[in-house]
Amino acid sequence: GITNASVEGTGIKRAIIAAGKEVVLVADSSKLGQVALARVAQLSAVDLWITDDGVDGDALERARSTGLKIEVV
């Protein structure tokens, strides 16, 4: 899922996700597998994940198999 290091602001992020027509997650490969203090949303809330080419290929395929659109830049 999507987590945040601080509880402060998490409610705002949840509201933005709930109100949005499309949710775009921009997270580089260093964030994959990291779990922070506050849960923001399930990965299923994301329509498009933009990441760098450092993400493990197996992890990308697992994410894609859920229907998540991924753009590697």
CA distances from 23 to 40, 50, 54 (A): 13, 11, 22
**Taking residues 25-36, what's their average pLDDT?**
91
pLDDT of 33 above 90: no
pTM, entire model:
0.84
Per-residue model confidence (pLDDT) at position 59: 87
Query: Phi and psi (nearest 5°) for 42?
Result: -75, 155
Question: What are 34-70's pLDDT values in tens digits?
Answer: 899 999 999 999 999 999 999 999 988 988 999 999 9
Kindly list the strands in the beta sheet with 69-72, ordered across the sheet, starting from the edge strand earlier in the chain. Answer: 24-26, 48-51, 69-72
